[in-house]
Structure 1
Amino acid sequence: MRSPMRSTAAVLAILLSTTACATMDAQTPAAAQAERLVAPILTTPDAVDSATFAQPQVARVTHVDLDLALDFERKRVAGTATLDILAREDAAQIVLDSNGLVIDRVTDGQGRALPFEVGPRVDGKGEPVTVSLRTDDGQARQIVIHYAANPQADALQWLASEQTAGGEHPFLFSQGQAILNRSWIPTQDSPGIRQTWRARITAPEPLDVVMSGVAQGDPETLGNDENGQGRRAFTFVMDKPVPPYLIAIAAGDIDFRAIGPRTGVWAEPDMLDRAHHEVADTEDMVEEAEKLYGPYRWGRYDMIVLPPAFPYGGMENPVMTFLTPTFIAGDRSLTGLVAHELAHSWSGNLVTNAVWGDGWLNEGVTSYFENRIVEEIYGETRARQEAALDYMAILETLDEVGRDAPGTALHHPEGTDSAGSAIVYNKGAAFLRTLESKVGRERFDAWLRQWFDNHAFQPATSNMIYEDMRTNLARNAAEAERLMLREWIFEPGLPANVAKPDPAAFAAVDSASAAYAASGTIPAAQTWRGWTSAERQRFLRQVPRDRTAQQLAALDRQLGLAATGNNEELFLWLDLALANRYAPAVPQAESFLAEVGRAKFVRPLFGTLAEEGDWGAAIAKRIYAETRPGYHAVTRGSVDKVLGWEE
């Protein structure tokens, strides 16, 4: 609905509501300017976020206004964060999240000092910052925090010029999910506390800055700083409430190239041609996504291809998806990644899990949506094959952790960790694919579209989608039981009604895999080149794990595995080779681990080395000692655990 002017009491009612509708009409900018949209706070027990210090039912942040300077010499972000506050009339203070922030002072909107206290650090969570809201004339509705982020802020990755493609200028990017943004932005860092935001960022010339908000005109020239270096100011606005983890920044020597009327890509100049070619289908993807599940509500959909230190495949930051260069294969065979991040514009960004234990509402729904986009753009065969690979990953995880392991349920209550991405992503997608097969695509699509429409710009929980399915998808209670909704969401393992992939999807590949396992017959090079990337990955995943050096050399010679430009396939080859202590692969693995920071590849390769006794442990420690400083905190944290690394 459109957002009329409301009294403080009326807005406070929304603050405490668990059911209030807070949608925004993307075509009414005047209404958005008249009053920033306030998304509801969910107060049911399953929506209470233990990962934040905030007490949003008492006082919450509704808008963040950043005025920050980037200092590449000192690896420092510093300036002010002005927070708009919505609070109960009796609220004396507001609690914010921090992780290593250096706070100089806090004032109200008139510049009057406000007492504040930084509490003790909690491992993995940071420190609470409690700010008094009491002023001489009542209660502060706006607070201004003067601060600097620590140079080692977990969300920020500062790259030296030699770590970039161009080699001439430094680079900065952020990664906020899940709770890392509190290391550079003082706010209430919880997915259930949605906030609008604005930012003015100054950076040294000739660097450009992009953010996950809409750029406001051309950058402003400021003149030279104290070091004699010219600086420019960039301004961005996000007028729709988003979870704080979606506030993102990147700065470096980057250029832009349009794809369509509302899509384009940023990248370093040396990378731009390849990046643009790889994502050329993006405008078509947006159009097909809209046909499936309703209008794209964010205006533009741009992307930036970051340096390879980026720890994830992609990050769905609104209006500016962050992408790893490792998806660039030259033939668009890995562009399901782009479809995935685009789909987040509905599932995750538009409707967000209120707590991280319901992450499948973000990633599982998105993975299903991704596959539907792939089907429309690249055809049913590729979509079926990629879905089959995902199903294979679910089975591998269940075999590894046990089919009754609590972490294999989609919903993870307090104290229960997920068994991994194959559950959050793939099992979530399999759930929706099963529902589609049972009720029919037309009815399923109508239900999912109304879910997005009715919960737009709001947080959600597993209980909410469960009740919505019972009410708006199932025709009656009996059908709801047959669909096994509760089993899928709240119980471990795979329910008996799971829709299994078409066995014909990989018929030719599975036949070749069986022949290789039985007699060592390697597919012909021409056959290999004619397969899709999904087919090649399927074959490599089915190669028997115990191979001799001669067998590995024959595979590489026949299939050109070490020379592939497809990083998903190269990773599978290196993992297989290292698991068999294949010495010729070690230099390539060392080079790969030095160049790529994507945790999906880096963590398992170090893990494989660590499992290979003294031989592998020595190699892993030698490589990691050199590569660790260049990894993002996300990647470092995961590898540290694998290797038992201590600084």
Structure 2
Amino acid sequence: MQRSAAISLTCLISTAVLIKSSPPEVGFTLANSVQIMALSPGDPNSYSRPDLAVVTHTNLKLSVDFDAKILRGWATLYVKKCGITDELILDHKGLNISSILNDADDTALQYVLGEAVEYGEKLSIKLPQSESSNNTYKIRIHYETSPNASALQWLQPEQTAGGDYPFLFSQCQAIHARSMVPCQDTPSVKSTYSAEIKAPANLTVLMSALREEVIESDGATNTYKFNQPVPIPIYLLAIAVGKLESRQVGPRTHVWAEAEFIEQSAYEFAETETMLKTAEDICGPYVWGIYDLLILPPSFPFGGMENPCLTFVTPTVLAGDRSLAGVVAHEISHSWTGNLVTNANFEHFWLNEGFTMFVERKIDGRMFGDKFRDFSAIAGLNSLKEAIATIGENNQLTNLVPSLIGVNPDDAFSVVPYEKGHTFLYYIEHLLGGPQVFEPFLKSYLDKFKYKSIVTSTWKEYLYEYFHDKVEVLNTIDWETWLYKPGMPPAIPAYDNALIETCKHLTKQWLQWDENTSCPFNKSDITNLTSNQRIEFLDELLLADEILSQKKLETLNEKYDFDTIKNCEIRFRWLRLCLKGRWRAKVTPALTFVTELGRMKYVRPIFRDVYAWEEVRQQAIDTFLANKDKMMYVSAYTVAKDLHLDING
């Protein structure tokens, strides 16, 4: 039933996005214009044309080859013709296609592969000429991935915690699914999928779907079967293969990890069910069945990835005290904001991430109090200030709704859609009367647009429809500035700053202390601060105009033992503070920190900091070049741009 609903829905969505796509910007070159015109009218980062023929279900039968670093097999696409066309247009990036067949009779279908550009290639397939009931087709594509597929990270045994077995994991967001499977790589298309994955028998296969069964085939390999009955955008297709163990931590949740991480992970995420129930109270029923967590090796580039049924999590959140488990609250929130209701293209990414930050902090408020919710929002605002200063306050990529015509979404990735989006929603909530008024709207919005992909104007229209008695209030919002102008938000909510004042006061004391006088500080200054307050204290020092001298930094470390703290959020900020103060001895530890893990939140700022220090710039470049092949594609790609290197040349 969901599949047939997805067919008609996706055709309608694609048509809607066609009408609302962004206009090209002034200054575009002719070469860019030619490339753009070939792309989907509903998505500036996809070639596909789901408005003409749309994929409604994908069935994968793939084998995992660790020696060759490829996936090999076929994808059967269930296709519904929506408009006047004789072809199916897909996205493709570096795939080696051996044949494309009409699944009904195994006859070969003609296809044309376009010229390779940054986004990949356009794959045009002639639809079968035979009569089809309801204009539906099944097209089977035999292929294998490239060893350099940008969606896939192949790890050697020595790159894992155990050191004895290889590991594979995927990262398809934003537009890397096309390097893993021929597909309509646009979030405007939502479809179901099923899969059979053959892998070495001593390894476990997991996917962003419900596990159905494991078939022991020949002793050397096992075949894992999966089914995802809820329509999803293709960027949520995910796979992981490794030597994994699991622990049940809730009625709907298993934690998966290498043996070396499993007990720590089970402890760290023991509150997952509480977070899930809290999210359901805010957002409505959880539709995905299970909520499992996979703790990945350190090269994973994000804090978490909201793959349905299987959230990917960085091991950098294993702090030992659950202080960083808020990453899970964020990914749980995505089960509604992003996975259930999805941005139709990545120009509207804030509909995923801004809403998710908003729900995450509501979960925090329910669990730890509204003061903590506001404390987190203020900390996020500081991150937003730094991001906008780095990107440029007049750069259109700091718009809440930027234009991505000719822009790779990886180049646009920042905290802007997260924190500017959250600030906007918090502002609107209080403008309309507070949580008791806005939360019923939030639940209604998620229910109305569930299983759909939308653009910002769709959300705005429903906001006006729901609050039809408050149109005058809504009209006071400066919509143009909030959505389509760069820089900081035009208004900042009146957050409760009680928890952050302690951090600010301690920061002020350190900045004002004359280092030629006796030191007034001791360990007790931070004993009663939470981990999050210690993080904020370091953030305040980082954001201050004054630069701490090396002597002050040495004293700071002597009193508070920052060098010995394992919490990655604290360690990251401490190392950045040392780089800001030009403490030369900390350059190597900082670069070591970001080569031992791949989380872009840490990796990119530290590489940028070292690069900005001209005397040690070459050390940043040399370190990156020596380690880039161990990094996930998106990490290597973005850091290379930060260092002004062309690694593809």
Matched, 1:578 2:574: no
Residue 564 of structure 1 is matched in structure 2 by 565
Matched, 1:349 2:339: yes
State the Cα distance separating 1:510 from its structure 2 match. Answer: 0.8
Question: For the residues of structure 1 that align with 2:597 and 2:556, how far apart are their CA atoms?
Answer: 24
Question: For the residues of structure 2 that align with 1:12 and 1:235, how far apart are their CA atoms?
Answer: 24
Quick one: structure 1 residues 187 and 495, their matched pair in 2 at CA, closer, same or farther if it must change by over 3 Å? closer
TM-score, normalisation: structure 2: 0.90
Q: 1:432 aligns with which of 419, 425, 431?
A: 425
Matched, 1:111 2:86: no
Amino acid in structure 1 at the alignment position of 2:76: T
Question: For the residues of structure 2 that align with 1:15 and 1:452, how far apart are their CA atoms?
Answer: 17
Question: For the residues of structure 1 that align with 2:331 and 2:170, how far apart are their CA atoms?
Answer: 16
Question: For the residues of structure 2 that align with 1:359 and 1:78, how far apart are their CA atoms?
Answer: 32
Question: For the residues of structure 2 that align with 1:573 and 1:4, how far apart are their CA atoms?
Answer: 50
State the Cα distance separating 1:433 from its structure 2 match. Answer: 0.9
State the Cα distance separating 1:629 from its structure 2 match. Answer: 1.3
Question: For the residues of structure 2 that align with 1:507 and 1:474, how far apart are their CA atoms?
Answer: 39
Question: For the residues of structure 2 that align with 1:534 and 1:416, how far apart are their CA atoms?
Answer: 39
State the Cα distance separating 1:499 from its structure 2 match. Answer: 0.8
Aligned pairs for 1:127-142 (under 5 A) are: 127-137=121-131, 141-142=137-138
State the Cα distance separating 1:536 from its structure 2 match. Answer: 1.2
Q: 2:44 touches 2:406 (CA, 8 Å); kept in 1?
A: no
Q: 1:397 touches 1:419 (CA, 8 Å); kept in 2?
A: no
Amino acid in structure 2 at the alignment position of 1:637: Y
Q: 2:255 aligns with which of 257, 260, 265?
A: 265
Question: For the residues of structure 2 that align with 1:554 and 1:585, how far apart are their CA atoms?
Answer: 15
User: Residue 531 of structure 1: SS of its match in structure 2?
Assistant: coil
Question: For the residues of structure 2 that align with 1:351 and 1:5, how far apart are their CA atoms?
Answer: 18
Residue 455 of structure 1 is matched in structure 2 by 449
Question: For the residues of structure 2 that align with 1:145 and 1:99, how far apart are their CA atoms?
Answer: 14
Amino acid in structure 2 at the alignment position of 1:115: Q
Matched, 1:178 2:178: no
User: Residue 459 of structure 1: SS of its match in structure 2?
Assistant: strand
Matched, 1:64 2:58: yes
Q: 1:328 aligns with which of 312, 318, 323?
A: 318
Residue 22 of structure 1 is matched in structure 2 by none
Residue 19 of structure 2 is matched in structure 1 by 44
Quick one: structure 1 residues 409 and 344, their matched pair in 2 at CA, closer, same or farther if it must change by over 3 Å? same
User: Residue 165 of structure 2: SS of its match in structure 1?
Assistant: coil
Residue 227 of structure 1 is matched in structure 2 by none
State the Cα distance separating 1:4 from its structure 2 match. Answer: 10
Residue 153 of structure 1 is matched in structure 2 by 149
Quick one: structure 1 residues 386 and 309, their matched pair in 2 at CA, closer, same or farther if it must change by over 3 Å? same
Q: 1:251 aligns with which of 237, 241, 264?
A: 241
Matched, 1:471 2:460: no
Give the stretch that moved more between structures: 329-338 or 281-290: 329-338
Deviations 1:299-331 (A, max 9, x none): 111110000000111000001000000011111
Residue 287 of structure 1 is matched in structure 2 by 277
Give the stretch that moved more between structures: 527-536 or 143-152: 527-536
Q: 1:201 aligns with which of 197, 208, 222?
A: 197
State the Cα distance separating 1:137 from its structure 2 match. Answer: 4.6
Amino acid in structure 1 at the alignment position of 2:116: R
Quick one: structure 1 residues 585 and 131, their matched pair in 2 at CA, closer, same or farther if it must change by over 3 Å? same
State the Cα distance separating 1:40 from its structure 2 match. Answer: 8.6
User: Residue 199 of structure 2: SS of its match in structure 1?
Assistant: strand
State the Cα distance separating 1:399 from its structure 2 match. Answer: 4.6
Give the stretch that moved more between structures: 405-414 or 263-272: 405-414
Question: For the residues of structure 1 that align with 2:521 and 2:190, how far apart are their CA atoms?
Answer: 52
Quick one: structure 1 residues 432 and 287, their matched pair in 2 at CA, closer, same or farther if it must change by over 3 Å? same
User: Residue 146 of structure 1: SS of its match in structure 2?
Assistant: strand
User: Residue 201 of structure 1: SS of its match in structure 2?
Assistant: strand
Question: For the residues of structure 2 that align with 1:594 and 1:400, how far apart are their CA atoms?
Answer: 22
Q: 1:407 touches 1:416 (CA, 8 Å); kept in 2?
A: no
Q: 2:503 touches 2:540 (CA, 8 Å); kept in 1?
A: no
User: Residue 169 of structure 2: SS of its match in structure 1?
Assistant: strand
Question: For the residues of structure 1 that align with 2:426 and 2:327, how far apart are their CA atoms?
Answer: 19
Residue 531 of structure 2 is matched in structure 1 by 533
Question: For the residues of structure 1 that align with 2:237 and 2:440, how far apart are their CA atoms?
Answer: 31
Q: 1:306 touches 1:324 (CA, 8 Å); kept in 2?
A: yes
Residue 25 of structure 2 is matched in structure 1 by none
Quick one: structure 1 residues 490 and 90, their matched pair in 2 at CA, closer, same or farther if it must change by over 3 Å? closer
Residue 508 of structure 2 is matched in structure 1 by 514
Deviations 1:439-462 (A, max 9, x none): 221110011111100000100101
Unaligned runs of 5+ in 2: 22-40
User: Residue 78 of structure 1: SS of its match in structure 2?
Assistant: strand
Quick one: structure 1 residues 478 and 640, their matched pair in 2 at CA, closer, same or farther if it must change by over 3 Å? same
Question: For the residues of structure 2 that align with 1:240 and 1:361, how far apart are their CA atoms?
Answer: 20
Quick one: structure 1 residues 446 and 522, their matched pair in 2 at CA, closer, same or farther if it must change by over 3 Å? farther
Give the stretch that moved more between structures: 68-77 or 498-507: 498-507
Quick one: structure 1 residues 40 and 374, their matched pair in 2 at CA, closer, same or farther if it must change by over 3 Å? farther
Q: 1:40 touches 1:458 (CA, 8 Å); kept in 2?
A: no
Deviations 1:477-499 (A, max 9, x none): 31111244454223344555431
Question: For the residues of structure 2 that align with 1:197 and 1:379, how far apart are their CA atoms?
Answer: 40
Q: 2:10 touches 2:189 (CA, 8 Å); kept in 1?
A: no
The CA RMSD over aligned residues, in Å, is 2.2
Unaligned runs of 5+ in 1: 19-38, 225-229
TM-score, normalisation: structure 1: 0.91
Amino acid in structure 2 at the alignment position of 1:625: L
